[in-house]
């Protein structure tokens, strides 16, 4: 972010805060940490979220779950599409932030932003299709009508990967498109695109609390989320430290969280995602009813 533009005007800097329950609070701990660009420049002080921020974020996510999960699939699809629209409108800003965070030139950073926009569009379209692809009518051997439908798991904790925008979008969109709410831990070294994305979310008709975003140290926050008894699932995609991942998975067993383990190889975020990430956070509910007069 340049200090002066062409006309010599001094830029107004942004304060990067957390995104919890639709609001942008500072960390309750009052802590911040310095975020630098890939080339070492100072970019901003980001909030260094505490375990209490994580706790508050889970409360917000739980509170939002009932409404978001019972919104119509059409409505959720429109909200996600709206996110894409808003992101597209702020392409320049995100291009700059991605360029700074990943040390890329503007062209490449721009392509990543485009891919992120397209990913929202892709997932938006799934909102009212995944039920048809993954649900079923079951021909049981008896006088019963029997069907299975996918339902959101609940509150999902997400440790986002280091790819600060495309990777982030690729792990958040599949969680929320089906009606889950989430608490996302942004990548420690490159949290700014995530904060800016939450500004997009806040202006995209996404109900507050559906996505909650924490910046700080995953090694500090994630254990509290992994052991939290009101979190239903955890995505460890962004946990690079194998030992930490094992600990988190073991801790998640406390209430039998659904766990997505870290990938064995660095993921190619530009590839078409497939259904895996949506299915990982969907339950299957089977309903039986007699058929008679």
Partner 1 sequence: MVFEYAPAPESTAIVDIAPSYGLFIGGEMVDPRDGALFKTVNPATDEVLSEVVAAGPEDVDRAVTAARDAYEHRWSRLSGRDRGKYLYRLARLVQERSRELAVLESIDNGKPIRESRDVDLPLVAAHLFYYAGWADKLGYAGFGPDPRPLGVAGQVIPWNFPLLMLAWKIAPALAAGNTVVLKPAETTPLTALAFADICRQADLPPGVVNIITGAGDTGRTLVEHPGVDKVAFTGSTEVGRQIARAVAGSRKKLTLELGGKAANIVFDDAPLDQAVEGIVNGIFFNQGHVCCAGSRLLVQESIADDLLDRLKHRLATLRLGDPLDKNTDIGAINSQAQLDKIRELSAAGEHEGAERWSPACELPERGWWFPPTVFTGVTQAHRIAREEIFGPVLSVLTFRTPAEALEKANNTPYGLSAGVWTDKGSRILWMAQRLRAGVVWANTFNRFDPTSPFGGYKESGYGREGGRHGLEAYLDVRA
Partner 2 sequence: MSTTALAPASLADVTASNATLRRVLHGLPGVDQVGVEARAATLATRSIKTTAKQFALDLAIGMVDLTTLEGQDTPGKVRALCAKGRRPDPTDPTCPQVAAICVYGDLVPVAVDALGDSGVRVAAVATAFPSGRAPLDVKLADVRAAVEAGADEIDMVIDRGAYLAGRYLDVHDEIVATRDACGDAHLKVILETGELATYDNVRRASWLAMVAGADFVKTSTGKVSPAATLPVTLVMLEAVRDFRAQTGRQVGVKAAGGIRAAKDAVRYLVVVNETCGDDWLSAEWFRFGASSLLNDLLMQRQKLATGNYAGPDYFTLD
Selected from 40, 139, 143, 242, the binder of partner 2 by CB under 8 A is 143
* Shorter beta-carbon distance to partner 2: residue 8 or 142: 142
Query: Is 274 a residue that touches partner 2 (CB under 8 A)?
Result: no
Query: Is 227 a residue that touches partner 1 (CB under 8 A)?
Result: no
Taking the chain, what is the end-to-end CA distance rounded to the nearest angstrom? 71
* Shorter beta-carbon distance to partner 1: residue 14 or 134: 134
Stretch in the footprint of partner 1 (CB under 8 A) among 43-51, 52-60, 74-82, 244-252: 244-252
Environment class of residue 12 by beta-carbon count within 10 Å: exposed (0-12), middle (13-18) or buried (19+)?
exposed
CA distance 222 to 236: 9
Stretch in the footprint of partner 1 (CB under 8 A) among 45-53, 178-186, 192-200, 238-246: 238-246
Query: Is 128 a residue that touches partner 1 (CB under 8 A)?
Result: no
Shortest distance, CB of residue 107 to partner 1, whole angstroms?
Answer: 28
Q: Which two tokens stand for residue 265?
A: 């190889």
Binds 293, which of partner 2, partner 1, none (CB < 5 to 8 A, cut-off by type)? partner 2
CA distance 186 to 163: 10
Beta partners for residue 47, in sequence order: 32
Shortest distance, CB of residue 148 to partner 2, whole angstroms?
Answer: 20
* Shorter beta-carbon distance to partner 2: residue 24 or 144: 144
Query: Is 30 a residue that touches partner 2 (CB under 8 A)?
Result: no
Shortest distance, CB of residue 288 to partner 1, whole angstroms?
Answer: 5
208 within 8 A of 60, measured Cβ to Cβ: yes
Crossing angle of helices 73-89/106-126, nearest 10°? 170
Binds 10, which of partner 1, partner 2, none (CB < 5 to 8 A, cut-off by type)? none
Binds 81, which of partner 1, partner 2, none (CB < 5 to 8 A, cut-off by type)? none
Question: What is the residue whose two structure tokens read 């938006």?
Answer: 124
Selected from 9, 256, 265, 293, the binder of partner 1 by CB under 8 A is 256
Residues in the chain, overall count: 293
Binds 12, which of partner 1, partner 2, none (CB < 5 to 8 A, cut-off by type)? none
* Shorter beta-carbon distance to partner 2: residue 33 or 144: 144
CA distance 162 to 26: 23
Alpha-carbon separation of residue 59 from 155, 194, 253 (angstroms)? 9, 20, 20
SS3 sequence of 235-251? ECCCCCCHHHHHHHHHH
39 within 8 A of 222, measured Cβ to Cβ: no
Binding residues for partner 1 (CB under 8 A): 70, 133-134, 136, 138-142, 144, 146, 148, 153, 232, 242-243, 245-247, 249-250, 252-256, 258, 261, 264, 271, 274, 276, 279, 283-290
């Amino acid at each position: 972010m340049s200090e002066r533009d062409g006309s010599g005007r001094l830029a107004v800097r942004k304060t990067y805060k957390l995104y919890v329950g639709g609001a942008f609070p500072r960390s309750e701990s009052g802590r911040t940490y310095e975020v630098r660009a890939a080339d070492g420049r100072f970019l901003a002080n980001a909030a260094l979220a505490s375990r209490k921020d994580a706790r508050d974020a889970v409360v917000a996510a739980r509170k939002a779950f009932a409404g978001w999960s019972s919104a119509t699939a059409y409505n959720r699809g429109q909200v996600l599409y709206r996110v894409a629209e808003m992101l597209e409108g702020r392409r320049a800003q995100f291009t700059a932030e991605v360029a700074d965070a990943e040390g890329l030139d503007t062209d490449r950073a721009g392509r990543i932003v485009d891919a992120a926009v397209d990913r929202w569009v892709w997932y938006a379209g799934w909102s009212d299709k995944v039920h048809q692809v993954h649900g079923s009518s079951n021909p049981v051997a008896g006088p019963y009508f029997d069907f299975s439908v996918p339902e959101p798991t609940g509150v999902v904790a997400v440790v986002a990967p280091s790819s600060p925008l495309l990777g982030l979008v690729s792990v958040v969109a599949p969680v929320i498109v089906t009606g889950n709410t989430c608490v996302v831990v942004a990548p420690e070294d490159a949290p700014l695109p995530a904060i800016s994305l939450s500004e997009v979310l806040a202006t995209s008709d996404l109900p507050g609390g559906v996505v909650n975003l924490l910046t700080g140290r995953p090694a500090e926050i994630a254990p509290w989320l992994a052991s939290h008894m009101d979190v239903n699932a955890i995505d460890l995609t962004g946990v690079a430290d194998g030992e930490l991942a094992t600990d988190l998975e073991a801790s998640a067993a406390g209430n039998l969280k659904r766990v997505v383990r870290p990938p064995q190889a660095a993921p190619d975020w530009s590839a078409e995602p497939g259904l895996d990430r949506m299915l990982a956070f969907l339950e299957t509910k089977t309903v039986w009813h007699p058929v008679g007069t």
